[in-house]
Amino acid sequence: MNKIKRYEFRKVLEELRQKAGRGTELVSVYIPPDKQISDVTSHLREEYGQAKNIKSKSTRTNVQSSLDSILSKLKYVGVKGGAVGTVGAAGEGVAGASENGVVIFCGAVAKGGDKTDIEAFIVEPPERVQSYIYHCDSSFLLEPLEEMVSEKEKYGLVVLDKREATIGTLTGKVVEAMKHLTSSVPGKIRKGGQSALRFQRLREIATDDFYKRIGEHATRIFLPMSRELKGILIGGPSPTKEEFLKGSYLQYELQGKILGIFDVAYTDESGLSELVDKAEGALEGLDLMSEKRLMERFMKLLANDASRVAYGEEEVRRKLELGAVGTLLFSEGIGAELMQDLVAKAEETGAEVEVVSTDFEEGTQLKRAFGGVAALLRYGTRYGTK
């Protein structure tokens, strides 16, 4: 899922998050792609029967009405041996997805005062639904979908001291150890008969050899994934990690991806998780810093070479038609239809697309002063600029 689709899906989730009911009147049903629709129908009918025991008449009526609505929609979901799929569902507004499953939300949504309306929402999940869930509450169960659209950037991880090193990756929230190495660096206490200088020299040679081995293995692991690798984190005690960093033991392209070094106590597999914990603050700020740099570049060009930028829907649209847009910038909160239209034009010309947060001054300025849409151009187009 690209950044724009993730942003649009999050907006859908935000709308669902605003829906509130009384008591346990909002029903959420997550159906995996291999779940038999007949089993789902049978279970929901059982729940319908159980709902008769609800003491509150209004809650009982609303829950049963919601289940009726869901059951009626399930008639349009199900082929391939009864598992989830679509059967002419487009006209019914059912988005059954044979690959990922389907999620249905339905319930009596509060409209103010004592008024409620039964509303139903069918969502095609961006990733596979792993397990069947039936949930009733005063709000819809959105956590499984939110997890699907959480950022899953990949980072390289290296933890080391002079005894051992572990190389791994962080993908989303999953830490995976890829390689564990041990060294032949002698301890600090020298054997009898060795001069202090000779012993120190042997330690330095063994340490350098170990750092080279770490760099070689890390390069073999990280280089094939370098395009998707957002950065590399280095952890360990001082001064080991600093020595490794200064020695440029990683391949030059990977060396440029190092985001920072962090103190960690462990250098085995558990050290990778410790490294991620220590780097949490740095990772959280990466997207914001990237967006901030884009906006700083836009503002600098606007002041010094306005022919290299465009802003406002009309002007940006013209530049897209000319194929002049290198990077299209959207502010959070811009209308979905406008975004989809301009993104389609950007994709035709190979322009990059970025959604800019309003959590910093320049991001807020994009929304308020520039109509929420701007562009960094591939080349200057002096005519038609503002």
User: What does the pLDDT read at residue 379?
Assistant: 82
Among 135, 177, 143, CA closest to 158: 177
Same domain assignment for residues 137 and 164: no
- Asked whether the beta carbons of 194 and 226 are under 8 A apart, the reply is no
User: What does the pLDDT read at residue 187?
Assistant: 73
User: What range defines the domain where residue 291 resides?
Assistant: 286-377
User: What does the pLDDT read at residue 82?
Assistant: 42
Last residue of a domain, one of 122, 148, 174: 148
Average pLDDT for runs of 10 along the chain of length 386: 78 92 91 91 95 91 95 72 38 50 93 86 90 94 88 88 96 89 79 70 91 97 91 94 94 93 96 93 75 90 93 95 93 84 89 86 90 91 46
Torsion of CA 209, 215, 218, 224, to 10 degrees: -130
Q: What CATH number is attached to the domain comprising 335?
A: 3.30.1330.30
Same domain assignment for residues 256 and 359: no
Same domain assignment for residues 275 and 294: no
Same domain assignment for residues 274 and 370: no
- Asked whether the beta carbons of 278 and 262 are under 8 A apart, the reply is yes
Same domain assignment for residues 38 and 137: yes
- Is this prediction's pTM over 0.95? no
Same domain assignment for residues 277 and 291: no
In a domain, 384, yes or no: no
Tally of domains within the chain:
3
Same domain assignment for residues 189 and 297: no
Q: Which two three-digit tokens encode residue 33?
A: 């792609």
Burial annotation 66-103 (CB, 10 A radius, 16+ → b, else e): bbebbeebbebbbeeeebbbbeebeebebbbbbebbbb
User: What does the pLDDT read at residue 186?
Assistant: 77
